Amino acid sequence: MTTLTAPPATDVLAGVRAHVSLRESISQTLTMAWRATKKMRRNPEQFFDVTLQPLLFTAMFAYIFGGAVSGDVQSYLPLLIPGILAQTTLTTCMATGVQLREDMDKGVFDRFKSLPIARVARSPDRWWRTCSAI
């Protein structure tokens, strides 16, 4: 019952800061990255885009369809590898967009927005994924 009388506003505002420190942003970003890895481990099929698919495509275009390329496969590879990298990155970006939209629809993103966290930290799993893809 003693807790009933609410403290004055100065008490409420005591620990409130105007900005997020760099250290906090890093810690928040890492926490969000933890969330992203958890998610990836629960839905491993999404991970195939960035792990298996590039390998598969490289093997396919080098060995199976390689014979159709004029010249030899060795000189074709420097062109093929960056192409596949670019494709993988694009695929990941797509998945990233879809996930972000899903977060917004489900309401989790509102929760992140309503928390006093750094703006960069709100969607680090996106660029974490993109970075890992590259």
Partner 1 sequence: MNVFSASDPDRASGSGSGSGSGSGELAVSAAGLVKHFGGTRAVAGIDLEVRRGQIFGVLGPNGAGKTTMLRMLATLLPIDAGQAHVFGVDVRREPHRVRQLLGVTGQYASVDENLTGRENLWLFARLQGIPAREARATSLRLLEQFDLQEAADKPISQFSGGMRRRLDLAASLIRRPPLIFLDEPTTGLDPRTRGQMWDTIRALVLDGCTVLLTTQYLDEADQLADRIAVIDRGIKVAEGTSDQLKSSVGSSTLHLRLAAPGDLPDAAEVVGRLLSEEPVLTPELGALNVSLTDADQAADVLIALRQSNLSISSLTVQKPTLDEVFLALTGHEAADRTAEHPDPDDPTGSSGPSDSGDSTDELTLEMTR
Residues binding partner 1 (CB under 8 A): 1, 3-9, 12-13, 15-20, 24, 27-28, 31-32, 34-35, 38-39, 42-43, 106-117, 121
- Report the distance separating Cα 106 and Cα 111, nearest Å: 10
Helices 124-133 and 73-106: crossing angle, nearest 10°? Answer: 170
Question: Nearest distance from residue 75's CB to partner 1, in Å?
Answer: 45
Question: Nearest distance from residue 1's CB to partner 1, in Å?
Answer: 7
Helix, strand or coil for residue 15? Answer: coil
Residue type at position 42: R
* Tokens describing residue 85: 């990298």
DSSP code of 5? S
Q: Which is nearer to partner 1, 57 or 112 (CB)?
A: 112
Q: Which is nearer to partner 1, 94 or 108 (CB)?
A: 108
Q: Which is nearer to partner 1, 101 or 113 (CB)?
A: 113
Q: Which is nearer to partner 1, 28 or 54 (CB)?
A: 28
Question: Nearest distance from residue 65's CB to partner 1, in Å?
Answer: 38
Question: Nearest distance from residue 68's CB to partner 1, in Å?
Answer: 43
- Report the distance separating Cα 26 and Cα 92, nearest Å: 23
Q: With beta carbons less than 8 A apart as the criterion, state whether 92 and 126 touch.
A: no
